[in-house]
Structure 1
Amino acid sequence: MEGKVIKSTGSWYNVLAEDGQVYPCRLRGKFKIQGMKVTNPVAVGDQVKMELEEGEDGTAVITDIKQRENYIIRKSTHKKHHGHILATNIDQAVLVATLVLPRTSLGFMDRFLVSADSFRIPALILFNKKDLLEEEQQQQQQELMEMYESIGYPCMQISAFDAQDVARVKDALLLKTSLFSGHSGVGKSTLLNRIDPSLEQKTAQVSTFANKGVHTTTYAEMFSLDKDTFVIDTPGIKELGLMDINDGEISHFFPEMRELLGECKFHDCTHTHEPGCVVVEAVETGKIATSRYYSYLSMLENEDTHR
């Protein structure tokens, strides 16, 4: 049989098979993904081949992993120079962000967008908790949305407790496999529960101490909203490390910098100090947002220190 991995808890995987049943599966032997240093050879979203095991416990063995269309990865928290695949075969990456309780940093948002862009996964930004914003914060959010939309990232401002907003998000997910991500406490699980109450995702109130979110999801898991619509909930990610991106490539994954590719005086311009750099010029004239440029510099610096 063939099936789709919907949950991974270490050595066991839940696979939704062609017959509509979910089978607990384990791997046959050791799988190594050629050319990839990863802590998990099988990830949520993988299409796999499986064989039922003899006996009556309903378990199966994964015998093969079909070729992936794409994947999104973070640096492993346990093994240096290794990655941990969050999910595979994704149609869109949905970032849930908040300007209050807790505030999502622009650096984190940009790192997420660069990571998605590097794997050619379209991204959607949901600014949640609009009902908690004061007038000045509302203005800030509007300006942020305009900035991100101008470079090709669709945005929505929503409240997980507004039925119309939830319906709009549901429409954006239709017929796609969507990865949901964001810091703990941004209301990701609450939103998913409102989209489909049967998910019964665990939610936790945001701790008022230092406005830190409480981790409620401990592993990525895929849920079916209907036959052709899936959402993948990921753990609250503190840091999304960029994998397999060289310093010289980082600017390629900023759409507004990519537009200027090849226009700098030097072909190997780092867009930091070189004369005749059109990117720096675009920042100075306001064509590229200063926050985005600072995110770019931060990524350059972080990747250097991680080598």
Structure 2
Amino acid sequence: MKEGLIIKSTGSWYTVKSNDGVIHNCRIKGRFRMDGIRTTNPISVGDKVDFQEENEANVIVKIHDRKNYIIRKSSNLSKHSQIIAANIDQAFLIVTVNYPLTTTTFIDRFLAAAEAYRIPVNLIFNKIDRYRPNDLTRLGELKFTYEKIGYKCFEISAKQGTHLDIIREALKGKINLLSGHSGVGKSTLINAIQPGLDLKTGEISEAHSQGKHTTTFSEMFELDFGGYIIDTPGIRGFGTIDMEKEEMSHFFPEIFKTSANCQFNNCTHVHEPKCAVKAAVEIGEICITRYESYLGMIMEDENSKYRI
């Protein structure tokens, strides 16, 4: 029996790096059920597993307990979920103000999911070399919103190498998840941070200002300056799962903090009188887009499509 780390998942086969540094191709033995969650992928990148040789093939026989994971709905219509990665020290959401547009709805859903599983998140604003004056104004507004809440924000140009030394220092020595829409420059950034990987990069569709998928499965890469980086497929939408509506405000730090001053302990911040959260929104202490994201998440139907 050997122990190892899942560094690549293609759906049916898994690449495992054993504790002695050797790479093994493995498959699953039987059916795994994790925490009662219906998932399309019972094992994900970042999982620690036990495996052994059976009939001249390596077979995964046990998944170790996870310290955390980040999860999303697997598709618009499926009731299953997809675990993006497990055992993460921190996540970096790559955001583009334009080329393509990343909406605040998408950002807030990702942040809420990470908060739910206690995964620290940083925001990387990429492609600053392409931004026009109005894009730079929007960038400043977004940075103000999220830094005020407590999220670290970085401005970079992966293509031109701007401020990448700061990103390398932030990644050093940790297991890092990189996520974002297709086309935001994820693969370009990873190639710039870790030369030699030569990940495939894609062009933006000029007609729709959206990226095309260049990464089709999650994969973990070791960084030569210490730590790991997990590359994930570009996400068009991010549907939340396993979040009770009554707990949703807990995953918006500024709303949760302000809710202590509401008249009712079980205030939903929608229709109740003397709601401190609604009052804070009215005077600008809580950003209106954050509040709208919160409302959208507590009011959506479980079977509704996930949002971008």
Cα distance in structure 2, aligned partners of 1:101 and 1:67: 39
| 1:183 and 1:237 in contact (8 A); partners too | yes
| 2:92 and 2:177 in contact (8 A); partners too | yes
Corresponding residue of 1:10: 11
Matched ranges for 1:43-58 at <5 A: 43-53=44-54, 55=56
Corresponding residue of 1:179: 177
Matched ranges for 1:53-202 at <5 A: 53=54, 55=56, 59-77=57-75, 80-202=78-200
Any gaps of 5 or more consecutive residues in structure 1?
none
Cα distance in structure 2, aligned partners of 1:193 and 1:33: 33
Q: Structure 2 vs 1, CA of residues 31 and 262 (structure 1 numbering), >3 Å: closer, same or farther? A: same
User: Deviation at 1:197?
Assistant: 2.0
Out of 228, 231, 234, the position equivalent to 1:230 is 228
1:268-287, Cα deviation, whole Å (9 max, x unpaired):
21111211110000000110
| 1:189 and 1:203 in contact (8 A); partners too | yes
- The TM-score normalised by the length of structure 2 is 0.94
Equivalent residue letter for 1:82: H
Corresponding residue of 1:284: 282
1:80-125, Cα deviation, whole Å (9 max, x unpaired):
3321111000011110010111010111011111111110000000
Q: Structure 2 vs 1, CA of residues 109 and 78 (structure 1 numbering), >3 Å: closer, same or farther? A: closer
1:188-237, Cα deviation, whole Å (9 max, x unpaired):
11111111122211101111011111111111111111384111111110
Cα distance in structure 1, aligned partners of 2:292 and 2:16: 42
Query: How many pairs are equivalent?
Result: 304
Corresponding residue of 1:258: 256
Corresponding residue of 1:31: 32
User: Deviation at 1:302?
Assistant: 2.2
User: Deviation at 1:301?
Assistant: 2.5
Cα distance in structure 2, aligned partners of 1:3 and 1:237: 28
1:259-299, Cα deviation, whole Å (9 max, x unpaired):
12332112221111211110000000110001111111111
Any gaps of 5 or more consecutive residues in structure 2?
none
Corresponding residue of 2:241: 243
| 1:196 and 1:225 in contact (8 A); partners too | yes
User: Deviation at 1:36?
Assistant: 1.8
Cα distance in structure 1, aligned partners of 2:45 and 2:77: 20
**3-state SS, counterpart of residue 73 of structure 1:** strand
User: Deviation at 1:257?
Assistant: 0.7
**3-state SS, counterpart of residue 27 of structure 2:** strand
Cα distance in structure 2, aligned partners of 1:78 and 1:277: 34
Q: Structure 2 vs 1, CA of residues 278 and 46 (structure 1 numbering), >3 Å: closer, same or farther? A: same
Out of 219, 226, 230, the position equivalent to 2:217 is 219
User: Deviation at 1:240?
Assistant: 1.2
**3-state SS, counterpart of residue 117 of structure 1:** helix
| 2:95 and 2:125 in contact (8 A); partners too | yes
| 2:95 and 2:184 in contact (8 A); partners too | yes
Q: Structure 2 vs 1, CA of residues 305 and 79 (structure 1 numbering), >3 Å: closer, same or farther? A: closer
| 1:247 and 1:303 in contact (8 A); partners too | no
**3-state SS, counterpart of residue 137 of structure 1:** helix
**3-state SS, counterpart of residue 61 of structure 1:** strand
| 2:172 and 2:225 in contact (8 A); partners too | no
Q: Structure 2 vs 1, CA of residues 34 and 79 (structure 1 numbering), >3 Å: closer, same or farther? A: farther
Structure 1 ranges of 4+ moved more than 6 A: none
